[in-house]
Amino acid sequence: MNRTKKRTIIYVDGLNLYYGALKGTSFKWLDLEQLFKLLRNDDDIISIKYFTTLVSGRESRVDQLAYLKALATLSLITIIEGRFKPKRISCLVTGCQFTGDKKFRRLEEKQTDVNITVAMLEDAYEDKCDQFVIISGDSDFVPALRSVKQHFPEKWIIVYVPAEHTDRSYATELKGAADKARNLPLNLLRRSQLSSTITDGSGGIIEKPSDW
């Protein structure tokens, strides 16, 4: 029996995916197209939107830029960048004996949650898809999911939480705002790796970082 496939857009919270499922593994050179074709093989995947922020460490940034260039060679991928904003944090360690300034500088990712929210609402209003797939465990996206469901109850929302570690696997509030939710199947990562060398389409070669 023929069945119409659901038009699907996938929204990937890049840093949440990295820290939730990829950091410390040998699967960071991830082919997102292959991953989601395996994960959602009954869907008509219209687009995969990858939201990320460039990290500050020199070596890490070089590796990240190589990965973004590799992703850009894939036809379904759109990359949307946010930014980090410096923030001063107070030390909350009980019994700390340090008598100097107990505030320290930390970088906080900005814009990604807003970028994903705006993209989802634009795609809903323009009727670009029947189904939204969110790859994140961040509860900041709960209002976006609720807004889409309120205005477009016929649209289907699915959440996959990247959860290599147990403490990231709950995401109860985010899962509760979706029509369907589960943890990202990590067994698919091994089967979804880019080639170690990739042509960039203009005569150049993109190489997988040696420590990846």
DSSP conformation class of 7:
E
DSSP conformation class of 5:
P
Residue 90: per-residue pLDDT: 64
Residue 203: per-residue pLDDT: 86
Choose among 211, 162, 196: nearest CA to 10. Answer: 162
Q: What is the pLDDT of residues 121-176, one digit of tens each?
A: 999 999 999 999 999 999 999 999 999 999 999 999 999 999 876 555 568 899 99
Residue 84: per-residue pLDDT: 45
Choose among 51, 10, 16, 15: nearest CA to 137. Answer: 16
Question: Could you tell me if 162 and 20 are in contact, meaning their C-beta atoms sit under 8 angstroms apart?
Answer: yes
Residue 137: per-residue pLDDT: 93
Residue 205: per-residue pLDDT: 96
- The DSSP annotation for 136-184 comes to ---GGGHHHHHHHHHH-TTSEEEEEE--SSGGGS--HHHHHHSSEEEE-
Point out which residues pair with 131 in neighbouring strands: 8, 156
- Please list, in sequence order, all residues whose beta carbon lies within 8 angstroms of the beta carbon of residue 21, skipping any fewer than 6 positions away: 162, 163, 164, 184, 186, 189
Residue 97: per-residue pLDDT: 66
Give the residue with greater pLDDT, 56 vs 21: 21
d(CA 21, CA 27): 9
Residue 94: per-residue pLDDT: 67
Residue 48 has pLDDT above 60, yes or no: yes
Residue 88: per-residue pLDDT: 53
Residue 1 has pLDDT above 50, yes or no: no
Q: What is the mean pLDDT of residues 189-203?
A: 94
Residue 107: per-residue pLDDT: 42
Q: Provide the 10 A C-beta neighbour count for residue 87.
A: 11
Architecture, CATH, for domain 7-90+100-207:
3-Layer(aba) Sandwich (3.40)
d(CA 95, CA 98): 9
Q: What is the pLDDT of residues 51-101, one digit of tens each?
A: 999 887 777 889 999 999 999 999 999 999 975 444 455 656 667 766 666
Give the residue with greater pLDDT, 85 vs 28: 28
